[in-house]
Every structure is written in C-alpha cells, then in structure tokens.
C-alpha cells in the first residue's frame, strides 16, 4: 500500500511538473508555427508566466492545460482497466 501511494505521488508530481514547466514551451513552439510570434515583447517565458498566472487565478483552460498530462495517464489507466474487465467477462 505504501509503495503504491509513493509511486502515485511521484507520477503525479512528475506529470504536474511536465504540465507546469514543459507544456507551456511546447504550446509556444506550436503556436509560433501556426499563429506567429507571441506579443512583441513576449516570448516563451512571457507565455509561461501568463499561463501560470491564469492557472493561479482559477482559469479553467489554464488548469486543463497544466493538469492534462496527469489526466491523460488516468484516462489511459481507466481504459486499460475497463478493457481487461471486459476481456475477463467475455
């Protein structure tokens, strides 16, 4: 039990760190290619700060962006569990 909790905390911390620090940079790079440059005085750090500020203000879109890596892993786990349950029943 204790190992499971520790493993889950490490996974959650890693994925939240990914969403908090790496994902804004990825969004910036994709946005730069698709839309163009972020505001004239901005850059990757300006976008990251804007995302972090929106997240702390409770903006749902910023929260979804930052929490999405952990959410995707949880959805994959749920899908795997349902698939295994269906295989056993069928």
Count Cβ neighbours within 10 Å for each residue of 22-47 and write b for 16 or more, e otherwise: ebbeebbeeeeeeeeebeeeeebeeb
Question: pLDDT value at position 8?
Answer: 95
- Confidence label for 72 from pLDDT (cuts 50, 70 and 90): very high
Tokens of 1: 């039990």
Tokens of 66: 């930052």
- Give dist(CA 43, CA 62) in Å, integer: 18
- Give dist(CA 82, CA 53) in Å, integer: 37
- Looking at the whole model, is its pTM more than 0.85? no
| Structural domain total, the chain | 1
Residue 9 falls inside a structural domain? no
Residue 4 falls inside a structural domain? no
Q: Where are the alpha helices (DSSP H) in 1-90?
A: 2-17, 23-34, 44-57, 60-89
pLDDT in tens, 11-59: 999 999 999 999 999 999 999 899 887 776 788 899 999 999 999 999 9
Residue 50 falls inside a structural domain? yes
Q: What single DSSP character describes residue 58? A: T
Residue 10 falls inside a structural domain? no
Residue 80 falls inside a structural domain? yes
């Amino acid at each position: 039990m204790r190992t499971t909790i520790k493993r889950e905390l490490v996974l959650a911390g890693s994925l939240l760190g990914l969403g908090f620090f790496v994902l804004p940079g990825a969004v910036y790079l994709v946005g730069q290619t698709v839309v163009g440059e972020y505001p004239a005085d901005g850059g990757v750090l300006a976008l990251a700060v804007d995302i972090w500020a929106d997240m702390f203000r409770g903006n749902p879109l910023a929260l979804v962006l930052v929490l999405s890596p952990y959410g995707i892993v949880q959805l994959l786990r749920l899908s795997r569990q349902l698939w295994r349950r269906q295989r056993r029943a069928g």
